[in-house]
Structure 1
Amino acid sequence: RLQHGLKKLSLNGDPLAGAAPRIITAIPFINIIEQTQQVYEKVIGDSATIITHHRLSDLTVKSDNLEEMTIDKRLLEVEAWEGDVVLTTFVQLFHSILTGKNRSLKKLNKLAGSIVILDEVQSLPEAYMPLLAAVLASVSKYYGTRFILMTATQPRLLESAEKILPEVPASLELLPDNKKYFKELRRTRFVPFLREKLDTQQFLEFFMAKWQGREAALVVVNTIKRSIDIFTALQPILAAVYPEVKLLYLSTNIIPKQREKVIALARQYLTDNQPVVMVSTQSIEAGVDLDFDLGFRDLAPLTSLVQTAGRVNREDNKEPYAPVYIVQIQSDNSYVYKLHNLADTKELLAKYSEIPETEYQNLIDEYYRRVLNRPLSSESETIWNDGILGLDFDEIEKFKLIENAGEVVDVFVEDSDEASAIANAYEELIGGKESIDRQLFAGLIDERMLTKLASSPSIYERKTLLRVIRGKMNRYIVQVRLSRFKDNRPIEYAARNGIKSDLFWIPPGQIDDYYDRQTGFKDEKGGAFIF
Structure 2
Amino acid sequence: MYIAHIRKQDQENQSVETHLDEVKELSEQFGQKIGVKYLAGLAGLLHDLGKNTEAFKQYIKAVVENPVEAPRKGSVDHSTAGGKLLYELYYREEATLYEKLAVEWTAMCIISHHQGLRDFLTPQLTSTFLERVSHKELPEFNQARETFLNQQMTVEQLTDYFHQAVEEIKTIIGLMKENTLHPISLSLVIKYIFSCLIDADRTNTRKFEEGNSQGTRFQSKPYFQDRYEALLETVTAYQNGEDSDHPINRLRNEMSMQCDQFASRQPSGIYTLSIPTGGGKTLASMRYALKHAVTYNKERIIYIVPYTTIIEQNAEEAKRVLRDNANILEHHSNIIEQEPADLSGEDIAAYQSLHLAKDNWESPIIFTTMVQFLNTLYGKGTRNVRRLHHLSNAILVFDEVQAVPVKCISMFNEALNFLHTICHSTIVLCTATQPALDFVEHDLKIAADAEIIPNLDKVSASFKRVRVEDRTRPSGYNVSELNVCIQTELDNVRSVLVILNTKRAARKLYEALQQNEKDDDSPEKGYRLFHLSTNMCPAHRKDVLRKLKQSLSDGERVVCVSTQLIEAGVDISFECVFRSLAGLDSIAQAAGRCNRHGKDPIRNVYIINVNEEDITNLKTIQAGSDITKRVLDEYKKDPDSLGHDLLSPQVMRMYFCYYFHRMKIDMHYAIPVLENHMIDLLGRNSRYTSAFKNAHAEHLPILSSQSFATAEKYFNVIDQPTTSVLVPYNAEANELLVELNGDMNTDRLGQILKQAQQYTINIYKHEMDKLEKSDDLYVLLHGSVYALRETAYDSEIGLDLESGNGWSVEIQ
Q: Supply the AA of the counterpart residue of 2:678.
A: I
Bigger Cα Rg: 2
Which of 631, 642, 647 is matched with 1:348 structurally? 631
* Conserved? CA contact 1:247–1:276, under 8 Å: yes
The alpha-carbon deviation at position 95 of structure 1 amounts to: 1.9
Q: 1:223 aligns with which of 498, 502, 511?
A: 502
Paired position in structure 2 for 1:425: 739
- Alignment partner, residue 605 of structure 2: 324
Q: Determine whether 1:482 maps to 2:766.
A: yes
> Paired residue for 1:98, among 378, 382, 387?
378
Q: What does residue range 382-421 of structure 1 map to in structure 2 within 5 Å?
A: 382-390=677-685, 391-398=706-713, 400=715, 402-405=717-720, 413-414=727-728, 416-421=730-735
Aligned partners of 2:397 and 2:429 also within 8 Å: yes
Q: CA deviation at 1:307?
A: 1.0
Measure how far apart 1:352 and its partner are: 5.7
Distance in 2, Cα, partners of 1:227 & 1:236: 14
CA contact (8 A) 1:81 1:107 kept: yes
Aligned 8 A contact 2:635 2:646 in 1: no
Shift of 1:392: 1.6
Shift of 1:184: 2.8
1:175-214 mapped onto 2 (5 Å cutoff): 175-195=453-473, 196-212=475-491, 214=493
From the two aligned structures, give the one with the greater helix fraction: 2
Amino acid of the structure 1 residue aligned with 2:796: R
Question: CA–CA distance in 2 between the matches of 1:46 and 1:422?
Answer: 23
| Matched residue SS, 1:26 | strand
Does 2:548 match 1:266? yes
- Asked whether the equivalents of residues 305 and 398 of structure 2 are also in contact (C-alpha less than 8 Å), the reply is yes
Larger deviation, residues 340-349 vs 411-420 = 411-420
Cα distance in structure 2, aligned partners of 1:349 and 1:217: 24
Structure 2 counterpart of 1:371, from 653, 659, 663? 659
Q: Report the counterpart of residue 20 of structure 1 in structure 2.
A: 297
C-alpha displacement at 1:359, in angstroms? Answer: 4.6
Q: Which string of whole-angstrom CA distances, capped at 9 and with x for unpartnered residues, describes residues 237-271 of structure 1?
A: 13406544111111112333321111111111111
Q: 8 Å contact 1:426–1:469 — kept in the other structure? A: no
Q: Which region of structure 1 is more displaced relative to structure 2, 234-243 or 284-293?
A: 234-243
Q: Which has the higher contact order (CA 8 A, sep 6+)?
A: 1
Which of residues 515, 538, 550 in structure 2 aligns to 1:236? Answer: 515
The separation in 1 between residues aligned to 2:732 and 2:294, in whole angstroms, is 49
Question: What's the offset of the Cα at 1:280?
Answer: 0.7
Name the one with the larger strand percent: 1
The percentage of counterpart residues that share the same residue type is 23
CA–CA distance in structure 2, aligned partners of residues 164 and 31 of structure 1: 30
Query: Aligned partner of 1:377: which letter?
Result: D
Query: Of 150, 160, 170, which residue of structure 1 is paired with 2:447?
Result: 170
* 1:11/1:104 CA distance change after superposition, 3 Å: closer
Partner amino acid for 1:506?
R
Q: 1:519 to 1:469 in 2, by over 3 A?
A: closer
Does the CA-based 8 Å contact 1:32-1:287 persist in structure 2? yes
The 2-side partners of 1:258 and 1:351 are apart by 42
Check conservation: 1:485, 1:523, Cα contact below 8 A.
no
Please say if residues 490 and 505 of structure 1, whose CA atoms lie closer than 8 Å, have aligned partners that are also in contact. Answer: no
The CA distance in 2 between the partners of 1:318 and 1:150, in whole Å, is 26
In 1, are the aligned partners of 2:312 and 2:538 still within 8 Å (CA)?
A: no
**Counterpart of 2:333 in 1: which secondary structure?**
coil
Q: Partner letter of residue 708 of structure 2?
A: F
Q: What SS does the corresponding residue of 2:585 show, helix, strand or coil?
A: helix
Q: Which runs of 5+ in 2 are unaligned?
A: 1-256, 270-292, 336-351, 671-676, 686-705
Q: How many residues align?
A: 474
Shift of 1:416: 4.1
Deviation at 1:145, TM superposition (A): 1.7
Alpha-carbon shift at residue 230 of structure 1 (Å)? 1.0
Determine helix, strand or coil for the equivalent of 2:362: coil
The code of the aligned residue for 1:307 comes to Q
Change (3 A) 1:153 1:242: farther
Match of 1:254 in 2: 536
Select between 267-276 and 365-374 the one with higher mean Cα deviation: 365-374
* SS of match in other structure, 1:190: strand
Q: Could you report, residue by residue, the CA deviation over 1:175-212 in whole angstroms, capped at 9, with x for unpaired residues?
A: 23112211233311222222222221122123223331
Question: Following the alignment from structure 2 to structure 1, what is the Cα–Cα distance between the partners of residues 529 and 324?
Answer: 40
- Gapped regions of structure 1 (runs ≥ 5): 58-71, 429-435, 437-456
Which whole-Å deviations, capped at 9, do the CAs of 1:151-188 have from their partners, x for residues lacking one?
Answer: 0110011332xx137x9453511123112211233311
SS at match of 1:157: coil
Structure-1 separation of matches of 2:770 and 2:329 = 40
Measure, in 1, the Cα distance between the counterparts of 2:777 and 2:715.
Answer: 28
Q: 1:416 to 1:118 in 2, by over 3 A?
A: closer
2:582 matches 1:300 = yes
Distance 2:381 2:585 in 1: 33
Q: Is the 8 A contact 1:130 1:157 kept in 2?
A: no
Q: 1:343 to 1:523 in 2, by over 3 A?
A: same
Q: CA deviation at 1:423?
A: 2.5
User: How well do the aligned residues superpose, as a CA RMSD in angstroms?
Assistant: 3.8
Change over 3 Å in CA distance of 1:242–1:54 after alignment to 2 = same
Alpha-carbon contact 2:499-2:561 (below 8 Å) kept: yes
Quick one: distance in 1 between partners of 2:447 and 2:788? 53
- For the residues of structure 2 that align with 1:238 and 1:419, how far apart are their CA atoms? 32
Distance, in Å, in 1 between the alignment partners of 2:467 and 2:734 is 47
The separation in 1 between residues aligned to 2:379 and 2:781, in whole angstroms, is: 36
Q: Distance in 1 between matches of 2:726 and 2:366?
A: 29
CA contact (8 A) 1:137 1:169 kept: no
CA distance in 1, matches of 2:359, 2:767: 34
Q: 1:131 to 1:274 in 2, by over 3 A?
A: same
Name 1:61's counterpart in structure 2: none
TM-score between the two structures when normalised by the length of structure 2:
0.52
SS in structure 2 opposite 1:479? strand
Q: Deviations over 1:477-502 (max 9, x none)?
A: 463561696499542445x9998677
Match for residue 151 of structure 1 among 408, 419, 431: 431
> How far does residue 117 in structure 1 lie from its aligned partner after superposition?
1.1
CA gap 1:107/1:366 in 2 versus in 1, 3 angstroms: same
Contact 2:532 2:561 in 1 (8 A): yes
Q: TM-score, normalised by structure 1?
A: 0.77
CA drift at 1:288: 1.1
User: Separation in 1 of the partners of 2:771 and 2:373?
Assistant: 36
How far apart, in 2, do the equivalents of 1:134 and 1:126 lie?
A: 14
3-state SS of 1:8 partner: coil
Are the equivalent residues in 1 in contact too, given 2:472–2:609 (CA < 8 A)? yes
Give the 3-state SS of the residue equivalent to 2:438 in structure 1: helix
* Change beyond 3 A, Cα 1:362–1:237: same
